[in-house]
Amino acid sequence: MKTVSLSGSVRTNVGKKGAANLRKNGSIPSVVYGGKDQIHFSILENEAKKIVFTPNVYLLELDIDGEKRKVILQETQIHPVTDRILHLDFLEISDDKPFKINLPVRLEGFSKGVRNGGNLRQNFRSLRVFGLAKDMPDAVEIDITPIKIGDKVRVSDLTLSGLVFLDPENAVVVGVQTARAVIEEEEEEEEEEGAEGEAAEGSAESNPPEETKKDE
């Protein structure tokens, strides 16, 4: 997993008024926990956007007034109307301590089922895993090339060395469904074949074979 550097400053005022002043001045109130102590700090809003408004997940090297620690973004609070970042929670991690994180799902290839007219349906954009930082990839990559119409990839079908998937094993991550257009087309073809068969039978009944006249 890629590592991104981030810097912040310790907050002296952790109340609501102090948080509001930070946002007004272009900073985001934040907290980091999971280590020896909990630290309230702030980071610039423009820096925060780089790790929030992206499908990617990063290991973060957080520098708070010269003190560095490894963290991951744990929780984000977004304003429901303005979409501005209100608050960020970070979890401090260590090389020998496993942690939970949501990894983005990345589909690779072009499905055989889609080539044949099926619809690709992706139910999970991310999957939650548990493991050490050294084993964390940038994403859960799934090769959908061999997936045919009716095939499904479940959580139980996935493996990542050193990691445990935490979502339900029978949950369908991605699959290819029969497209409605394909169904309608097949039904139309069946109806046409049936109509042609009925027409042939009707023609045979209305035009019985002529009897061969015998020479008298």
DSSP label at 61?
E
Residue 33 lies inside a defined structural domain of this protein: yes
Tens of pLDDT, residues 48-81: 999 999 989 999 999 999 999 999 999 999 999 9
**What percent of the chain clears pLDDT 90, i.e. is strictly above it?**
74
Tens of pLDDT, residues 20-49: 999 999 999 999 999 888 999 999 999 999
Question: Which residues make Cβ contacts (< 8 Å) with residue 195, sequence separation at least 6?
Answer: none
Q: What is the mean pLDDT of residues 98-107?
A: 96
Q: What gap in Å lies between CA 1 and CA 93, rounded to an integer?
A: 14
Q: What gap in Å lies between CA 64 and CA 9, rounded to an integer?
A: 5
Residue 194 lies inside a defined structural domain of this protein: no
Same domain, 67 and 114: no
pLDDT band at 181; cut points 50, 70, 90: very low
Q: What gap in Å lies between CA 85 and CA 60, rounded to an integer?
A: 18
- For residue 39, the enclosing domain spans 3-93
Residue 84 lies inside a defined structural domain of this protein: yes
User: How many structural domains compose the chain?
Assistant: 2
CATH assignment at residue 80: 2.40.240.10
Residue 211 lies inside a defined structural domain of this protein: no
Does residue 74 contact residue 91 with C-beta atoms inside 8 Å?
A: yes
Same domain, 88 and 13: yes
